[in-house]
Amino acid sequence: MKQLEKFFDIETQYDKKHKLNTCNKKVPSEYLTSIEKGCSLERLEEMMHKKFDVFKYKTQITIHGLFPELSTNRVGGYVNLTQNKNKSIGVRYTAIDHEKKTRLYNLLSKISDWHITENSCQYYINKMEALPSDCINNREKILEIVRKYEAEAKQIDKSLFVGNVSCYIARGLCRNYMCLDANICCFYEKNFYKLFENLSGMTWEEGQKKYETIKAEEKRKHDEFETRWKKEREERKAKEAEEEKKREEIINKFVSENPAPEGYSKHENYQPQAGDNVCRLYFDKYEKKLMWVELTCKKYFGKVKEKPIEKDFDDYWCKPILTSWVYVKTA
């Protein structure tokens, strides 16, 4: 959605950019493998302890050191890794703590009103509220929602993660929305439970209990749907089988009372060839009756096509009956 107006954006502090590679130490291959798979904040700190320089910028983290060429640049389904000319590695936040954020976001979206947004540039949770159609002329209503979101944003403990919390108006397909984004770039595993409790407004035990209740209800509905669908499928199959049985009885009765024209013999699973004359059962939808139709087989563009011999044949109302057999004119 297109952002129209921003009301606040509370950011953590980021490092100043460095054009030169500040570390000429060769990075072990196992670190590169870890980064390519998606690195955690803990792994980055381990690198720092090994005297590799790690800088946190607004859109990515840059790891300074001498890296070999990257073999991949996708984490979480998006392009997240880049190698700079000075051999340092730029890691977008969508690749950092992806697994941790997925666990946290999935849990929050299940038990609260947080929603997940993931694209090639960002991976965050957000809330939104539809604005009234007269919002342009109703500034007080807008500010009322802003104050509500601002109060909620102040309750978010920003010491538990790296990122930002912002509030803005965005244009949707049919209306405008007030949005509150919590962009969690990375966080420590040790803060997982605290961050969950802070964002959900409930204890970990309460959250787990609510999650299990929701999952149990979803399973009940799923099992109920599966049972109903299975029953309907069996009933549909029984009905189709009964209709097919009646259809065969009607066809057999017609064939026994109205034999195919003289000179034709019945062939099972026969594939007509060019030059054949065949006879098939047709149904006249207008007069609602079965009838025999003689056809000639000719090859058009490499395929054998059947065409009624009768020139004035009405193929609009008369349609062929699909059977496993066909009557073929004997030589």
The structural domain count of the chain equals 4
- Sign of the dihedral defined by the CA atoms of residues 208, 210, 215, 219, in that order: positive
Can you give the pLDDT at residue 119?
85
In a domain, 83, yes or no: yes
Final residue before a domain boundary, out of 60, 95, 130: 95
Instruction: Take residue 85 and report the two structure tokens written for it.
Output: 């000319």
Note whether 120 and 32 are same-domain residues.
no
Note whether 41 and 64 are same-domain residues.
yes
In a domain, 2, yes or no: no
Note whether 147 and 82 are same-domain residues.
no
Note whether 317 and 228 are same-domain residues.
no
Domain interval for residue 148? 98-204
Helix (H, G, I), strand (E, B) or coil at 134: coil
CB distance 54 to 44 below 8 Å: yes
Provide the residue type at 166 as one letter.
S
Final residue before a domain boundary, out of 78, 95, 112: 95
Note whether 26 and 80 are same-domain residues.
yes
Can you give the pLDDT at residue 295?
96
Can you give the pLDDT at residue 211?
95
pLDDT by 10s per residue, the chain, length 331: 788 889 999 887 777 777 788 888 887 777 777 777 778 888 888 877 777 888 888 888 888 888 777 666 665 655 677 777 777 888 888 888 999 999 999 999 999 999 999 987 889 999 999 888 776 677 888 888 899 999 999 999 999 998 999 999 998 888 889 999 999 999 999 999 999 999 999 999 999 999 999 999 999 999 999 999 999 999 999 999 999 999 999 999 999 999 999 999 999 999 999 999 999 999 999 999 999 999 999 999 999 999 999 989 988 999 999 999 999 998 7
Provide the residue type at 83 as one letter.
Q
In a domain, 1, yes or no: no
In a domain, 288, yes or no: yes
Can you give the pLDDT at residue 45?
81
Can you give the pLDDT at residue 266?
95
Can you give the pLDDT at residue 73?
62
- Which are the contacts of 177, defined by CB distance < 8 A and separation ≥ 6? 1, 128, 129, 130, 131, 169, 170, 171
Can you give the pLDDT at residue 258?
96
Long-range pairs, 127-136, Cβ under 8 A, ≥24: 127/179, 127/180, 128/170, 128/177, 128/178, 128/179, 128/180, 129/177, 129/178, 130/175, 130/176, 130/177, 131/169, 131/175, 131/176, 131/177, 131/178, 133/175, 135/176
Can you give the pLDDT at residue 91?
83
- This prediction has a pTM of 0.70
Can you give the pLDDT at residue 76?
60
In a domain, 5, yes or no: no
Can you give the pLDDT at residue 66?
81
Across-strand partners of 278? 295, 328
Return d(Cα 209, Cα 213) in angstroms, integer. Answer: 6
Instruction: Take residue 187 and report the two structure tokens written for it.
Output: 């966080």
Note whether 47 and 84 are same-domain residues.
yes
- Judging by DSSP bridges, how do beta strands 176-186 and 123-130 pair with one another? antiparallel
In a domain, 3, yes or no: no
Note whether 217 and 198 are same-domain residues.
no
Q: Where are the beta strands (DSSP E) in the chain?
A: 2-11, 53-56, 60-64, 74-75, 78-79, 81-83, 89-92, 115-118, 123-130, 162-171, 176-186, 264-268, 277-284, 289-300, 303-308, 318-320, 325-329
